[in-house]
Amino acid sequence: MGSDTVTVEKLGFVFPGQASQVVGMGKDLYEQSAAARAILDEVDDTLGRSLTSLMFDGPIEELTDTQNAQPAVAAVSLATHAALKEFLGAAPEPAMVAGHSLGEYSALAVAEVLSVSDTVRLVVERGRLMQEACNEKPGGMVALIGIDEFAVEDVCRETGAELSNVNTSEQIIISGTHRALAQAIDLAAARGARKCITLQVGGAFHSGLMEPAQVGLNEMIESMQFNDPTIPLVGNCRATSLTTGDQVRAELQSQLTSCVQWQRSVDFMIEQGVEKFVEIGPGKVLCGMIKRINREVPITALGDMESIKAFAA
C-alpha cells in the first residue's frame, strides 16, 4: 500500500438505552471538556432543574426513576460525543448511527434530526408518559435466554405476552401483564429456555401496554420539525436506514409499542460495511450484545474522558 494511502474504518456509533445509568456518570466529562459541559448545562437549562447534580451525586433510586434515567442517559451520551469531537478536533465521522430504545434519541440528535434541547424535551416527555402508562397499565419485562425467536413467538401467542426486544439470537425480551409473564416463564422453561430473568423495570416497555404513552408522545412528535439525518440512522422497529426526517418521525410514532429489532439492526449495519462499533454513553451493555451477535467485529465503549483519550491514542 502506498505511503499516501490512508484507510479509514467505517464506524458505527451506537447509543445505550435506559438501565445504563450509574451515579457519577458524566462528572469527569463536565469537569474536563468544555463541549461536554455545554451540552450538560443545556440539558439543565432545558429542564429548568439540575439533572446533572442528580447524575453526579445520586441517590441512585431517584436517578433510576424513568423520568430521570431517560434524559440522564441521553445527556451523557450526547456529552460524550461532544467531548470526543472536541478532543480529536473533529470526531471521526461514523458511516451509520443507531441506538437501543431510548438510545435512538441520542442517535437522531447526533445525526442532527433534532437539536439537543428538542431531543431532551422529547425524551423527558417520553419518560413522563411511560411512567404514567406504567401506573395505568402495570406490567413488566422478562429476558428469555437460550430459546429462539420462533419459540418465543409461540410462547407469546399462547400467553398474551409480547415480543419487545430481540437483542441477540440468545437473548430475547418479552413484555406484558404480570399474569401473562408468569405463564410465559413457565412455558418458556418447558420449551427449553436456559434462564428466564425478570427485569428491574417500571413496566411493559415496547408493548401494547405503552399505547397511552405512544398516543401522548405522538402529539409532541407531530408538533416538532424533523430534519433529514446528516448520517444514515438505523431505526429500531424497521432495522434499516432512515434517510428522511419523515421516516424518523414515523419510526418514533410506533417505537414505544413495537419490538426493538437490535440484532437485525446490528446485522444490517455490518452488511452495509460497518467495520467497527463505538458505544457512546454510560456502560457497556451494547458492547456485550454486539459481541454475541458477531464476534468478528471490534467494538469499543466510550463513556468518560479516560476512554476517549485511549480511543484517540
Catalytic residues: 101, 206
- Whether a cis peptide bond, with omega within 30° of 0, leads into 212 is no
Closest to 74 measured CA to CA, from 39, 48, 45, 50: 39
156 contact partners, CB below 8 Å, separation of at least 6: 162, 163, 174, 176, 184
Which H or E run contains 164?
A: strand 162-168
Say how far apart CA 77 and CA 84 lie, in whole Å. Answer: 11
Say how far apart CA 15 and CA 74 lie, in whole Å. Answer: 8
Provide the angle, in degrees to the nearest 10, between the axes of the packed helices 103-110 and 245-255: 170
Say how far apart CA 313 and CA 301 lie, in whole Å. Answer: 14
